[in-house]
Amino acid sequence: MSEGLPIIEACYRLYKQFYALQAKMAKERRYSIGVSTEATILNLIEQLCLAQTAPKLHKRAYLQRASAQLDILRLKLRLCLELKVANETRLFQYQAICSDIGRMLGGWLKSIQ
The confidence band for 46, taking pLDDT boundaries of 50, 70 and 90, is very high
Q: By mean pLDDT, which of 35-44, 59-68, 78-87 is the weakest?
A: 78-87
Position 4 scores a pLDDT of 83
How far apart are alpha carbons 102 and 108 in whole angstroms? 10
pLDDT of residue 3: 64
Confidence (pLDDT) at 113 = 83
Structural domain count, the chain: 1
Residue 24: which CATH number? Answer: 1.20.1440.60
Question: Between the CA of residue 110 and those of 59, 73, 85, what are the distances in Å?
Answer: 12, 22, 35
H-type alpha helices, the chain: 6-24, 27-29, 35-53, 56-82, 88-111
* Within-domain flag for 1: no
Q: Burial level of 41, CB count in 10 A (0-12/13-18/19+)? A: buried
Residue 35 lies in a domain: yes
69-111 residue pLDDT tens: 999 999 999 999 999 998 999 999 999 999 999 999 999 999 9
